[in-house]
Amino acid sequence: MKTISVTTLGCKLNFSESSSIVREFVQNGFKKVAFGKQSDVTIINTCYVTAQAEKKSKFAVKKAKKVSPNGKIIVIGCAAQLNPEKFVKYDGVDFVAGTNFKFDIFNILQCNNEQKIFHSDVNEIENCDEAYSISERTRSFLKIQDGCDYHCTYCAVPLARGKSRNISIEEAVKNANIIAQKGIKEIVLTGVNIGDFGKTTGENFFQLIQELDKVEGIERYRISSIEPNLLTDEIIEFVANSKKFMPHFHIPLQSGSDDVLKQMHRRYNTNLFCQRIFKIKELIPDAFLGIDVIVGFPTETEQNFNETFNLLNDLPVSYLHIFPYSARPGTAASAIKESVPSEIIKNREIKLSELSDLKSYIFHKQFVGTTQSVLFEKIESDKKILGYSSNYIRVSVESNNDIRNKICNVKILNFENNIMNGIVLI
Ligand code: SF4
């Protein structure tokens, strides 16, 4: 039996797509093996969001060639779309498939002649390929949207993935039912700009979550990341009253300076952002709020950074995802002459991660002594099992039973090393 392996860099959307692409190979007689094991076909699903991610994509090709010298290596993903010539030169690469061809690679492999690059202009892409992950984890990444029309000045995603487009609500519900039939209890809605869902079908995100809420068998949904300007009151109110949509929001702020937000071409200001945060905390006090923030945008002054620090310091957020600015070729910001020295970026990153640790401690500490509903995912070590509460708290318990993929009530005893330890209530 032929074997296939895959390695995926980057976002949840990439994971959902890798899973669907490999599933077609498995449905056609291939056996999936772990990346790093010798395989007849290896797929490298690349990322372009930072220079570091692109470098990792290159190393993955080298590793694949080393472990499977006679195997076929196929490179897909955002870096492949933006730099096909570069990847096709790497030793061992059979062909590179851009954004519009990544779901055709099984067929391309069947009838491939000598063509090495399958590529087209992303702006020609109209359809949104369906994708979801089922086997890799207890939670599934369900792709609902792709591409983006925002063109924030630092971001290359629209260059790699094209215009905003989405599957229909009917297709999303169909895929959620398939995932439920596999016994998976949690779905993470994923895409590039998911709040923009509905643009190509005349529907909207609020309608989508109402329909998904009715799907039998799925007990939990998480909204991966949503733009502040698209996170409406009705969506927050719906999540507040839903038993299935979890009290967990991931919202990109990027900067706490309105001047910098303007130069990033973001579609909100700090006032709107704060309104969203306080609206959520008013209706869902226990909600987990993960916030994206970029440090070192080329024009960010010390004063701008202090505005960001002070704003986040004053807000009831739970965790900061901190990204040092990485200039991406082809983006408007990469043409900006000024730049922030790397040691200053490093210092700002350290300051914000210290703030994030404090926010995380304050957030988690308040749940000691409470009872939380936890979906268990992973056996950590002897008898220790790890899972997540509805509001995305990592919880570890001791158990003789394999309670993975089970939702149990847990009494939280303490918070140590960023993990809540508890006991399962029978
Ligand atoms: S909203 Fe902005 S940052 Fe997000 S994918 Fe679109 S262009 Fe990139």
pLDDT block averages, 10 residues each, the chain of length 426:
96 97 97 96 94 89 95 96 95 96 96 88 95 83 98 96 98 98 96 98 98 98 97 98 98 98 98 98 98 98 98 98 95 96 98 97 97 93 89 94 93 92 91
pLDDT given for residue 51 in this prediction: 83
CATH code: domain 139-362 is 3.80.30.20
The burial class, CB within 10 Å (0-12 / 13-18 / 19+), for 34 is exposed
| Interval between CA 157 and ligand 1 midpoint (Å) | 7
The residue to which tokens 């099984």 are assigned: 106
Length of the chain in terms of residues written: 426
| Interval between CA 91 and ligand 1 midpoint (Å) | 33
pLDDT given for residue 34 in this prediction: 95
Q: Is 152 in the pocket of ligand 1 (CB under 6 A)?
A: yes
pLDDT given for residue 138 in this prediction: 81
Angle made by CA atoms 292, 157, 235, in degrees to the nearest 5: 50
Give the largest Cα separation in the chain, rounded: 64
pLDDT given for residue 137 in this prediction: 62
Q: Is 43 in the pocket of ligand 1 (CB under 6 A)?
A: no
For residue 309, give every residue at least 6 positions away whose Cβ sits within 8 Å of its Cβ, in sequence order, or none. Answer: 256, 351, 352, 355
DSSP for residue 75: E
The residue contributing the CA closest to ligand 1 atom 8 is: 155
Total Cβ atoms within 10 A of residue 359: 20
The residue contributing the CA closest to ligand 1 atom 4 is: 193
pLDDT given for residue 334 in this prediction: 96
Rounded Cα gap, residues 239 and 223, in angstroms: 10
* Architecture in CATH for domain 3-120: 3-Layer(aba) Sandwich (3.40)
pLDDT given for residue 135 in this prediction: 67
Tokens found for residue 156? 């290359």
Which of 151, 149, 141, 146 has the alpha carbon at shortest distance from 161? 146
Tokens found for residue 315? 């807000």
Which of 405, 320, 403 has the alpha carbon at shortest distance from 422? 403
**CB of 391 within 8 A of CB of 366?**
no
Rounded Cα gap, residues 243 and 144, in angstroms: 21
Q: Could you identify the atom of ligand 1 that is nearest to the CA of residue 149?
A: 6
| Interval between CA 192 and ligand 1 midpoint (Å) | 7
**CB of 373 within 8 A of CB of 409?**
yes
The residue contributing the CA closest to ligand 1 atom 2 is: 152
Q: Is 294 in the pocket of ligand 1 (CB under 6 A)?
A: no
In what helix (H) or strand (E) does residue 27 lie, and over which residues does it extend? Answer: helix 12-27
Pairing of strands 41-46, 3-8: parallel
Q: Is 147 in the pocket of ligand 1 (CB under 6 A)?
A: no
Tokens found for residue 103? 């779901």
pLDDT given for residue 54 in this prediction: 84
Strands (E), 198-354: 220-223, 248-254, 288-295, 319-324
pLDDT given for residue 400 in this prediction: 84
Query: C-alpha dihedral over 182, 183, 185, 187, to 10 degrees?
Result: -10
